[in-house]
Amino acid sequence: MATGLSSARFWPYQRAMTDLPVIRLKPQANARAIRHGAPWVFANEVVTDRRTRSIAPGALAVLEDADRTPLALVAANPTSKIIGRVLSRDPGETVDQAWFAARLSKALALRAQLYDAPFYRLVHAEADGLPGLVIDRFGDTAVVQPNAAWLEVRLKALTAALQQVTGVQHVLKNAGGRTRALEGLDDQSGVLAGQAPDAPLPVTMNGATYMADLTGGQKTGLFFDQRASHAFARRLVTPGAEVLDVFSHVGGFGLAMLAAGARTALCVDGSAPALALAEAGAEASGFGDRLSVRQGDAFDTLTVLAEAGAQFDVVVCDPPAFAPSKQALEAGLRAYERIARLAAPLVRDGGYLGLCSCSHAADLGAFRTACTRGIGRAGRQGALIHTGFAGPDHPLMPQLAESGYLKALFYRL
């Protein structure tokens, strides 16, 4: 049977790699998907016998098809729905510090070509060939999110390779990723090398200075993924414009639009520490007197602003994931529609409304439908002028829809 893989190629594997456990696909599983680049193997696709269930979480294993032909080297976790994460199409490959260094070097080469300063997402998990791994770089400091068991047991080699390739002195571990619990991992963050910064770090993007709290902030401290959409929002600002940034975190859209010449920006968020960082960023940027903040529930705040007759030239809403899973999709789409309905009345005629989603379960079409419906329910007409996605330091893996989670829609009302 033709498999596209030479049996001679795997003769060394058969002789030298018999110490690795084997995970075998069921006959009805789609082995072709793995051959074509699919990065995940689900538990219901494999033969889960006693030996499979006894594999230690994070151990390496050889993935075979139903005919016992080796397909890939995978990181195994029998306690997870994702029982195998493809690390290499070569089952005989060695995963050590040199292996990590080679993958990190490729990731770094892309970012060094794209950005003139070392502030970016260095590793975007499967799309960079490192399943479950997120690394954000802040100059001399890197924040690592090891969201899969195979990474947790190889942190020493990963950290050494990261310092070797990038030259960073400080490596922090962030254990706040929601998928860690699904992998059976703890939520204990810490320092892997060097030391944690004793104050938020300034990061310059799109003409503004953002303050990134790498130890106490959300996620890794700053959302690099919205950089391209921040840049587009700047283009919507005219001299004297008044802008509203809802779910602002540390002032992502608000600071970028102030740097572009907006007269005022109001940032709304439920987190007082995040808003304090937005104010600090505005001060560091030289326009602290033009930023105001309001802490509170976004839905309630939008309602209060509408009741007060407030109007803005640009309104952007960038909420957390309302639909983090398929089970939450229906409720999440209703929430996105509600946000659009509440925000649209606050936009002046001829102004702009930006609506964002980081829910991978809500695809672009469903999200766009919910937003457009919400604008219509508010009695407004909207022309969609721009669709944005995460920046190129967050590459999308075509075989994995989850890697293309971020969407941003900009309407002229």
Q: What residues are labeled active site?
A: 358
**Structure-block tokens of residue 83:** 């029982």
Q: Which residues contact 161 (CB under 8 A, 6 or more apart)?
A: 97, 98, 100, 101, 104
**Phi/psi of residue 145, each to 5°?**
-115, 100
CB 317 within 8 A of CB 370: no
Does residue 317 sit in helix, strand or coil? Answer: strand
Q: Which residues contact 413 (CB under 8 A, 6 or more apart)?
A: 344, 347, 349, 350, 351, 352, 353, 375, 380, 381, 382
CB 61 within 8 A of CB 21: yes
The 3-class SS string of 349-362 reads EEEEEEEEECCCCC
The total number of residues shown for the chain amounts to: 413
Return the exposure string of 231-265: e unless at least 16 CB atoms fall within 10 Å of the residue's CB, then b.
Answer: bbbbebbeeebbbbbbbbbbbbbbbbbbbbebebb
Does residue 48 sit in helix, strand or coil? Answer: coil
On the 0-12 / 13-18 / 19+ scale of CB atoms within 10 A, 157 is: middle
The count of other CB atoms within 10 Å of the CB of residue 195 is 10
What is the maximum span of the chain, computed from C-alpha positions, in angstroms? 76
- Full DSSP string of 3-18: -SS-TGGGHHHHHH-T
- For the four alpha carbons of 48, 52, 57 and 59, in that order, the dihedral sign comes to negative
28 forms beta bridges with none
Residue type, 136: D
